[in-house]
Structure 1
Amino acid sequence: MTGYTHRGRASARIVAAGSVGLLAAGALTACGASSGVGGTSDADGAADRTLTVYAAASLTSTFEQIAEDFEAAHDGVDVKLSFAGSSDLVAQIQQGAPADVLASADTANMDKIVADDLQAGTPTDFASNALMIAVPPGHPADVASLADLADDDVRLVVCAPEVPCGAATERVEEAAGLTFAPVSEEQSVTDVLNKVITGEADAGLVYVTDVRGAGDKVEGIELPESDSAVNVYPIVALEQSPEPELAQEFVDAVLDQDGQRVLSDAGFAAP
């Protein structure tokens, strides 16, 4: 599988199941508490629900905003976000970690979920991202192009090959006919960025969105070669979710106009 197509969005918000509060003590049940829209109950007891979303590290700021908006629109819903490299997230899900939604930074890792039949429906592409060189302010190592990253004197940090940003780095390296000798290979793009910010690296290959999100902590150098390594991001509700309708609603929130605006403002492109 090389990619995914958009599918229809849900047309209405769900009504929380009354069973949410059934695990409460018998006294609560006797009070006759009942769930309302979004999972709230009456004053005698809470019926809060938790939605666990696994998302690629490069989605951190955008998904924090989307989750905040989602919680505001769903009384009693707590969205727990877990960010890491997509390969790590997929491995955790394959090993049974409780998650309701997965948003990957590439289709290759999502394909592993599909191969194991762990998805609840068809993954949908919702954004894309391209690589950019991040350097400390002032360019202390005089890095100005991709070719400079092959200099032995440049402390380069990249993502590990199994991570989407690492796979994209290898494609860019191959397209440019270069050979890099990084001093470190990280398990997430945010780890690469942090090493540049803290001065542990002279340069790092990260996403356009990471450079934008870092503000004046780094400077970005565009890569004409990045066109050969654009990563497409798919999202899907997971089969194991105890809240399948709510999980799909979160997916829909990422795909709808507001979610897409949050992503666009952060520098993500359309898939």
Structure 2
Amino acid sequence: MISPAISAPAWRGLLAAIAGLALGLGATGCASSEDPTTLTVYAAASLQEPFEELAAQFEAAHEDVDVALSVAGSSTLAAQIREGAPADVFASADTANMDKLEDAEPTDFATNTLMIAVPPGNPAGITDLSSLTGDGVRLVVCAPEVPCGAAAEKVQDAAGLDFSPVSEEQSVTDVLGKVTSGEAGAGLVYVTDVQKAGDAVEGITFPEAASAVNTYPITAVPGTAHPDLGEEFIDLVLGEDGRTVLSSYGFAGA
């Protein structure tokens, strides 16, 4: 029974408002059920800038996908994945850490080589690899378990030298940071890192670098919840757009 205190037109307006509110709540519920899918990509620290660019391209082509990029040393990332971290794609700076993933089916997509990075003006007077063993030279390298550290050991052996670094870092980014901050007089990093740093460092090439070329593999992580999206991201990296982006940051082909 309609209350005599509310006219029929007013009552119809109230019912319309209630119906509109119900529709609004329903629409909100539908929107929440269509939240973007998150594709989690684990990538070696040296890949941060090109993979940020490729992630943006992927998101632009997939309106319903967010790419969550996690960068660190390859050994750290491989360990996290083996411990159950929810990664969908893994791009390593070497094959040794990729091999730690059981049942992975990686594809090589890029290569990188070492270069000596020194602060502007080269205050330690570094000229070649043997200069790194000079008195008073504060050398920083990656730890042996990190791809750039394993490469540093190879060039050291190839040159018949014995480095005495003041610190061993867990990623090539950390080595570069020691050099750019002035904490180190020299660091062994990748060619791509010297290019990325611009005027913040000077790069010195050395022939022994050819004995330690790092190959970068990429794979969909076994058991990923988003295998199809993972393969699509890998296709982007392996395709023409991926090669163009990687080349612009100094990476060579695999």
- Normalised to the residue count of structure 1, the TM-score between the two structures is 0.82
Number of the residue aligned with 1:111 = 99
Q: What amino acid maps onto 1:76 in structure 2?
A: D
1:47 to partner: Cα distance: 3.1
Number of the residue aligned with 1:134 = 117
Q: What amino acid maps onto 2:219 in structure 1?
A: V
Aligned match for 2:83, one of 92, 95, 98: 95
Aligned match for 1:251, one of 225, 234, 239: 234
Q: Does 1:202 align with 2:185?
A: yes
Distance 2:160 2:38 in 1: 48
1:46 to partner: Cα distance: 3.0
Listed as ranges, the gaps of 5+ residues in structure 1 are: 1-26, 34-41
Distance 2:114 2:251 in 1: 11
| Aligned residue runs from structure 1 range 114-263, under 5 A | 116-117=102-103, 119=104, 122-263=105-246
Secondary structure of 2:110's match? strand
CA deviation vs aligned residue, 1:26-47 (integer Å, no higher than 9, x gap): x99x9699xxxxxxxx867533
Secondary structure of 1:206's match? strand
Runs in 1 of length 4+ with deviation above 4 angstroms? 30-33, 42-45
Q: What amino acid maps onto 2:39 in structure 1?
A: L
- Normalised to the residue count of structure 2, the TM-score between the two structures is 0.87
Number of the residue aligned with 2:17 = none
From the two aligned structures, give the one with the greater helix fraction.
Answer: 2
Distance 2:168 2:32 in 1: 52
Q: What amino acid maps onto 1:199 in structure 2?
A: G
Q: RMSD across aligned C-alpha pairs, in angstroms?
A: 1.9
Secondary structure of 1:54's match? strand
| Sequence identity (%) | 65
Q: Does 1:49 align with 2:37?
A: yes
Q: How many residue pairs end up in the alignment?
A: 232
CA deviation vs aligned residue, 1:51-109 (integer Å, no higher than 9, x gap): 00000000010100000111111102110111111000000000001100000000011
Does the 8 Å contact 1:156/1:184 carry over to 2?
yes
